[in-house]
Amino acid sequence: MTKLPYCILEELDARPMLKMLRQPEFRWPVLGDGLGRDYQWSQSQWSLLETLVEMRNQHSKSVLIRLYVSPDDKNSSYYIIKLDQASLSLSSREDYTTNTSSALGNRAALLSLMVDAAVMLGAPKQAAQTQMEKALDFETKLAHILIPYENRTSENMYNKYTLSRLQRSMPQFDWLGFVKAVVESKDNPGLSISSSEPVIVRTPKYFKDLMKLINSTDSRTVANYIQWRTVFSKITTLSRRFLYRYLDFARVTTGTTSLTPRWDKCVNYVENSLVYATGRLFVDKHFQEDKKLMMEELIEGIRWAFIDMLEKENDWMDQQTKNKAIEKAHAVLPKVGYPEFILNDTYLTEDLEQLEFDEKDYYGNVMQTLKFIAQSDVSWLRRSVPRTEWFTNPTTVNAFYSSSTNQIRFPAGELQKPFFWGKEYPRSLSYGAIGVIVGHELTHGFDNNGRKYDKNGNLDQWWSETSVAAFTEKTQCMIDQYNDYYWEEAGLNVRKQLSFLIKTFKVNMQISVTPFWFLGAW
């Protein structure tokens, strides 16, 4: 049984993807000359809107425009539609906007992969070279109009429109038609979208520049780029010749030196796709309830220490702001181990019944889970936010802070050695290991992003201007210190502000790193 999927994957080779690329909305223009009429792309029949919609709905893939549903930053009890810029093929915007040796190498590796992937799927070599160069040039221009990471502040990205106002502001694209096509589906029969629908447009300037870029680029190039992103996201689901070609690309861009074993890749995919079912299996076998009790006690101890520092050692925050900070610290809701609903067999079964897996169709299994995931956030629209619930995969080895619910989250996967030590060990070990992580997550509620949200998770300026100024002054001190560090071998300084205010995206939340001790006297 273990060899069957591998043999079938090799036998099928590129056929599952080629079958997808025959669909009108997914036709890749570069393949037309090599594969004939069934793959011919027609400019007159191609629709940018339909392609973006189907990519989002069927592939859970956002290209050019990202649409998702999450709590309204200023009314965090309710969900709202948000529109944002999407990602690029390479992980860093600077890979396109700079000409360092690393950036040039990554761009060259990307172009080579784009050309080879097209040829491996049936495109003529010269056509692939010419058209993929144009597609990469389009993506490079796209990178230049992306809103830089350091400018993506909570205030800048909260721009509330109705769809009718958005349409008037940017008439080059059918925004109402796009949102309706994503949200109004047979999977969400109760949802209806009108021109009065409120949306948060996180990057208005990007969208305006995007429309200009699309209008100044020939449709074939835009279509080639969009379908490249489809192929790129699925290339590792194919046979080993595609995997090895991707490995050559990854060696340059990430330093990867070997393929992940197929069994490991499949296990990870199941774990990350069926998060609650696999989380339940993990919790049943590996998580003891005494861990949860001990962790909750530890969190309360660190909360007490944090508030004590805030009251006694912080000499730069005014009293009114300090009082509100203490209120917020008391209101932080800790979540430990796993969401309770994963113990409900009926709930888990309702989800799983929507999926029908076939051990002989790996590509098809991937596609139906992606479609399932694509609709999972949309289904929350019109519902109130379950503020005391959480939706983190229990197997995750990480911890999180949610600004919209003012929660700190510690999944079961994180509560193991070397982060967490059981009752048979001195408590000091857990305080020194997982305790640092608890303090780290707790202070996210008061860092350069989290401090903008009040105790109820609403975007609200509850700090006084004097406290904001003092905070900015003290963080600048650390930024200046980091800016002075120089790495001789690389001939580079640490990257200034980004080195200190590192941001990572966790469960669609912007989270930045601030030391636990930032509230103390410096």
CA pair distance 10, 7, nearest whole angstrom: 5
- With beta carbons less than 8 A apart as the criterion, state whether 495 and 57 touch: no
How far is the C-alpha of 330 from the C-alpha of 307, rounded, in Å?
A: 8
Over its C-alpha atoms, the chain yields an Rg (Å, rounded) of: 25
Task: Answer left, alpha or beta for residue 435, where phi above 0 means left and psi between -120 and 50 means alpha.
Answer: alpha
- pLDDT attached to residue 512: 30
Q: Helix or strand or coil: residue 106?
A: helix
Q: Of 152, 178, 184, which is closest to residue 163 (Cα–Cα)?
A: 178
Per-residue exposure over 135-153, b if at least 16 CB sit within 10 Å of its own CB, e if not: bbebbeebbebbbeeeebe
The answer to whether 170 and 211 are in contact (CB under 8 A) is yes
Per-residue pLDDT of the chain (522 residues; tens, 9 = 90+): 344 445 788 889 999 999 999 999 999 999 988 888 899 999 999 999 999 999 999 999 999 999 999 999 999 999 999 999 999 999 999 999 999 999 999 999 999 999 999 999 999 999 999 999 999 999 999 999 999 988 999 999 999 999 999 999 999 999 999 999 999 987 777 889 999 999 999 999 999 999 999 999 999 999 999 999 999 999 999 999 999 999 999 999 999 899 888 889 888 888 988 899 999 999 999 898 888 999 999 999 999 999 999 999 999 999 999 999 999 999 999 999 999 999 999 988 887 888 888 888 999 999 999 998 898 889 899 999 999 999 999 999 999 999 999 999 999 999 988 999 888 889 899 999 999 999 999 999 999 899 999 999 999 999 999 999 999 998 888 888 888 888 888 777 776 555 434 443 333 333 333 333 233 322
Residue partners of 98: CB distance under 8 A and separation at least 6:
none
Beta 400-402 vs 492-493: how paired, if at all?
unpaired
Kind of pairing between the strands at 492-493 and 486-487? antiparallel
Domain range list for the chain: 8-259, 288-339+392-521
- CA 246 centroid distance within chain: 22
From residue 194, give the alpha-carbon distance in Å to each of 67, 164, 290, 419.
Answer: 16, 9, 50, 49
Q: Per residue, what are the HEC states of 55-104?
A: HHHHHCCCCCEEEEEEEECCEEEEEEEEEEECCCCCCCCHHHHCCCHHHH
Q: Give the whole-angstrom CA distance, residue 243 versus residue 239.
A: 7
- The CATH fold assigned to 8-259 is Neutral endopeptidase; domain 2 (1.10.1380)
Structure confidence at residue 495 (pLDDT): 66
H or E segment at 487?
strand 486-487
Predicted confidence at residue 511, as pLDDT, reads 32
Task: Indicate the CATH number of 288-339+392-521 among 3.40.830.10, 3.40.50.1240, 3.40.390.10, 3.40.718.10.
Answer: 3.40.390.10
The reported pLDDT for the residue numbered 6 is 53
What is the C-alpha to C-alpha distance for residues 503 and 148, in angstroms, rounded to an integer?
12
CB 24 within 8 A of CB 44: no
Running DSSP on this structure, what letter comes out for residue 504?
E
Q: How much is the pLDDT for 508?
A: 34
Question: 8-259 with 288-339+392-521: one CATH topology?
Answer: no
The first and second tokens of residue 360, run together, are 């002989």
H/E element holding 509?
Answer: strand 509-512
